Each structure stands twice: as C-alpha cells, then as structure tokens.
C-alpha cells in the first residue's frame, strides 16, 4: 500500500511539472507572436504562433485562439488590414496549471509517504528547472525583438548577433531556425542601410531554403529533385563546397543505382523530351548593350516547332552511333567534341531508327526558344537575369561539364540553353539584316555554322541569349554539343 501511494505521489508531481513547463512554452511563444503581430512583422509572428501551436498540453480553446492569430498573420501577409479582436486571449496558462494542482486529490499518507512526497517534489522541481533551462536555451536561438534603442546604436550589434546565431544553427543543419535569424539580420542591415550585409543575409536565406527543400526531397527518395536543390545551394556559394559535393555525390549514387536497375531505351526518351514552341512574331537580335554580330534587331515570324528540353546526352549519342567522343564520359552529360558534320550523320541514323524527322534548330528557332517563346520574361540569360540559377559557366562550373537539367529551366521548361555545352544550329553564319523575316533558315551558303549558348568555361557575357559565334562544320570542340528540333511527330 505504501509503495502504491508513493508511486501515485511521484506521478502526480511529474505530471504537474510537465504541465507547468508546457504552460511556459505556450505563453512565451504566444506573447512573442503577438508582439511581432503588433509591430507588423507578420512572417515572424506566424512562426511564433506555429511554435505555440506545437506545445503538447494546450486546450481546444487555446488551439482555436492560435488559429485566429494565424489567420490574422495570413491577412497581414496578404496586405489586408489587421485588427486584433478583443475576445482573443493574450495570456499564458499559469492559472490552468494552478487549478490543475488545486484539483488534485490528496491521498491519505503516513509520515514515510509525506517524506517520499517531499523528496519527489524536490526532484520534480530540479527536473523542471533543468528542462526550463534547456527550453530557454532553445528559445534563445531565435532572437527576441529588443527594446527600442537608437538605430545607430542597435543595428551593427544586432546584425552580428543574429548572424552568429544563424551560422551556428546552419552548421547544425537546423535550417528553419537559421533562416529566421538570417531574416532578422537582413532586417537589421536594412535599417542600418548596409546593402552589402543585406545581400549577405539574403544569400544565406536562399541557401537555407534550398538545403531544407533538398533534405525533404531526400527523405521522399526524390533524388533527382534533391540533387537540383543541392546544386543550387552550391552555386549560391554559401556552404562548404566539399560538404555540398558529398551530398550531390550521394544523390548521384542513388540515381545511378536506380538507373542501372532498368534497361534504358534511348530512342523513345528523345521524342518524349521534346517541347512544343508555338509559332509567333518576335524581335530577334540585340537592342541594348550589343556585341558585334548581334545587330540590327529585326522582326521574325516562326511556325510551331518542337525543340529538345535537354541537350543530347552521351548515352543517347552512343545508343545510335556506337561510340562516345566526349573527353569526360558520363551518359547524363551532353555529348561534345562532335563536329556539325557528325551531328548530321547522327540525325540520319536516328531518323531511320525512329521513323521521325529530327533536325537541328535554325538560329531563329533557337533564340526564340531560349527567350521563352510566347511566355518570355525578357531575361538576359535563358530563364533568368541571374546566370548561376540557369547556367554552368566559368564562375560556378569548376571548369567541368555537368549533367543536363541540374539547374533551373526557362519559361518553356527548357534546360541549359545558357552555358554547360554550346550548341550547333543549322544556319550558315551571316550578318543580320533589318526588316521582316518570314520563317528564316539563314544564308544559302557560307564557311561557318552558327553556334549558340556559351559553354561551361566561358565568361558570363557568352551566356547572353543574343550572343552568337560560329565554327567550321568539321570543327570538334570539347564544349560544343547540340539539341534536336522537329516540325512534328506525324
């Protein structure tokens, strides 16, 4: 009997200590969320309310309150006017915990039980203090808003403090908390009007998002998509290169293992890899800050056509030709070191095997597709005004070719039209002429064929959509490949 009473007493006080600890978790996070909401920082307020919602021992009423707070945050983020209703509670749960203690039945105990009860109370208090200390340390990873101070005094220290905490969380791969603190650092730098620090913090935020998404995709065994996110984090340059390369290699190993378990037919995937580009009228050539050969800009009309989503890979080339001419071999890399004449030979054999009519794109088709067709956002590079997001080139490629489709596509979901491998077009190279051009196919003859897109070891200027150069038809270059086009599949 004494043993049962002792155990009942210990369990009662442990439960009370757990409830008290969770009360502090809920009320602290809720108060911080309300402070952020009143200051108009709706994103940060939403994070605190979500933290409060995750506390274990909260009532249905408190859950409903949290949902209303979160709705107010969403309204603020959407630009709506936010008014805090008077019926929403901004209080902790201390009263509930006290009531819980008061309502506990008092068992009849003797002196030994009372002594055991006191020991249990002291032990529970010590454990509660230790848990509270750990909880406080975890909460302090997200910096609370300081009391109002003169901007010129608070901002420099505020930025450094936030960055130090964020870097610590980042190194522990706690990307969600790291991102929150980088956002605080960015806000501090913005108030201090220090744009360099703002850019540093924003770069880190972008990296946190890419890495967090990559880890989620890895957990879902979506290794292709995870690899893309890791590569983006690598190009941003905010993470140790060896560390992120290890993650990319892990994805590659998983992908290779999956690919090796399936016998691949390379002819069918070529037809499935083609993207429809709807015919239209567009201005071809450069209109501002132009280079030699890019002017005059002129109006071009095109019919519907299809173009490869990716550059032709070494695996596809070898399946048709029986050999791989590329200096660095990988079946997922673009095939390179092939002349224009060899490409024509490949197309003849592919058409015979598939019964279709593939060809090289004309220069005007290539430029229209690179611009994003009728969905164009008028970007400098194929899909972005920021080259590292869409292109492998001298600044991010480590002087190496990469597998197709790792970076972001353009508006038509076409990859690598800027960088990685430069690409043969069907036209003879000639100077542009002004006027209206209907379905142009280039000059009737010439000495060199058009090459577009820039390669993995080129400077950023070569990646511009309007940049063009040329090479003799028998030229073989380790950075020149091609992608296919066709008028249709009938």
pTM value > 0.85: no
pLDDT at 265 over 80: no
- Calculate ∠ Cα 358-364-368, nearest 5°: 95
Q: 9, 120 in Cβ contact below 8 A?
A: yes
Task: Tell me the pLDDT tens digit for each residue of 396-438.
Answer: 999 999 999 999 999 999 999 999 999 999 999 999 999 999 9
Q: What is the pLDDT of residue 421?
A: 97
Average pLDDT of the chain is 80
Residue 446 above 60 pLDDT?
yes
Which range, 102-116, 229-243, 409-423, has the best average confidence (pLDDT)?
409-423
Phi and psi for 37 in degrees, rounded to 5? -65, -45
What is the reported pLDDT for 362? 96
Cis peptide before 42 (omega within 30 of 0): no
- Residue with the bigger pLDDT between 366 and 95: it is 366
Stretch among 40-44, 285-289, 469-473, 483-487 having the lowest mean pLDDT: 40-44
Give the least confident one: 127-141, 228-242, 252-266, 364-378: 252-266
- Mean pLDDT, residues 104-121 taken together: 61
Tell me: pLDDT of 264 over 50.
Answer: no
The two tokens of residue 376 are 């164009």
* Closest residue by Cα to residue 391 from 455, 442, 327: 455
Q: Of the given ranges (77-81, 94-98, 444-448), which has the lowest mean pLDDT?
A: 94-98
Long-range contacts of 290-296 (CB under 8 A, 24+ apart): 290/466, 291/461, 291/466, 291/467, 293/431, 293/432, 293/468, 293/469, 294/432, 294/466, 294/467, 294/468, 295/432, 296/432, 296/433, 296/434
Summarize pLDDT for 328-355 with one digit per residue, the tens.
999 999 999 999 999 999 999 999 988 8
């Amino acid at each position: 009997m004494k043993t049962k009473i002792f155990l009942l007493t210990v369990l009662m006080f442990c439960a009370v200590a757990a409830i008290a600890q969770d009360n502090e978790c809920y009320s602290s996070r809720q108060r911080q969320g309300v402070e952020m909401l009143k200051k108009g920082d709706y994103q940060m307020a939403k994070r605190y309310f979500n933290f409060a919602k995750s506390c274990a021992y909260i009532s249905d009423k408190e859950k409903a309150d949290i949902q209303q707070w979160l709705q107010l945050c969403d309204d603020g983020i959407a630009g709506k006017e936010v008014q805090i209703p008077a019926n929403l509670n901004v209080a902790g749960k201390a009263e509930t915990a006290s009531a819980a203690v008061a309502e506990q039945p008092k068992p009849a105990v003797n002196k030994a039980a009372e002594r055991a009860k006191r020991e249990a109370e002291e032990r529970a208090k010590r454990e509660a203090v230790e848990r509270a200390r750990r909880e406080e340390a975890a909460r302090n990873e997200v910096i609370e808003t300081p009391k109002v101070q003169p901007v010129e005094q608070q901002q420099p220290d505020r930025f450094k403090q936030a960055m130090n905490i964020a870097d610590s969380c980042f190194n522990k791969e706690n990307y969600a908390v790291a991102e929150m603190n980088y956002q605080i650092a960015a806000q501090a730098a913005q108030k201090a009007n220090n744009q360099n620090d703002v850019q540093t913090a924003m770069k880190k935020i972008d990296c946190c998002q890419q890495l967090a998404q990559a880890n989620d995709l890895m957990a879902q065994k979506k290794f292709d998509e995870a690899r893309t996110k890791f590569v983006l984090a690598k190009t941003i340059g905010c993470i140790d290169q060896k560390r992120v390369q290890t993650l990319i290699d892990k994805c590659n190993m998983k992908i290779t293992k999956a690919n090796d378990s399936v016998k691949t037919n390379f002819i069918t995937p070529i037809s499935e890899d083609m993207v429809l580009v709807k015919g239209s009228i567009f201005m071809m050539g450069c209109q501002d800050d132009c280079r030699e050969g890019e002017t005059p800009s002129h109006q071009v009309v095109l019919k519907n056509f299809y173009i490869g989503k990716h550059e032709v890979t070494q695996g596809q080339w070898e399946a048709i030709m029986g050999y791989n001419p590329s200096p660095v071999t990988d079946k997922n890399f673009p095939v390179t070191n092939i002349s224009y004449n060899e490409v024509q030979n490949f197309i003849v054999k592919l058409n015979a095997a598939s019964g279709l009519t593939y060809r090289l794109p004309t220069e005007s088709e290539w430029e229209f597709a690179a611009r994003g067709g009728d969905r164009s956002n008028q970007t400098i590079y194929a899909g972005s005004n920021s080259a590292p997001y869409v292109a492998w080139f001298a600044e991010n490629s480590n002087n190496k070719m990469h597998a197709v489709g790792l970076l972001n596509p353009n508006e038509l979901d076409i990859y690598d039209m800027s960088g990685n491998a430069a690409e043969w077009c069907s036209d003879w190279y000639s100077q542009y002429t002004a006027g209206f051009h209907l379905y142009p196919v280039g000059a009737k003859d010439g000495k060199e064929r058009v090459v577009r897109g820039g390669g993995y070891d080129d400077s950023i200027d070569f990646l511009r959509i309007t940049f063009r150069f040329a090479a003799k038809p028998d030229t073989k270059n380790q950075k020149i490949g091609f992608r296919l086009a066709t008028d249709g599949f009938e």
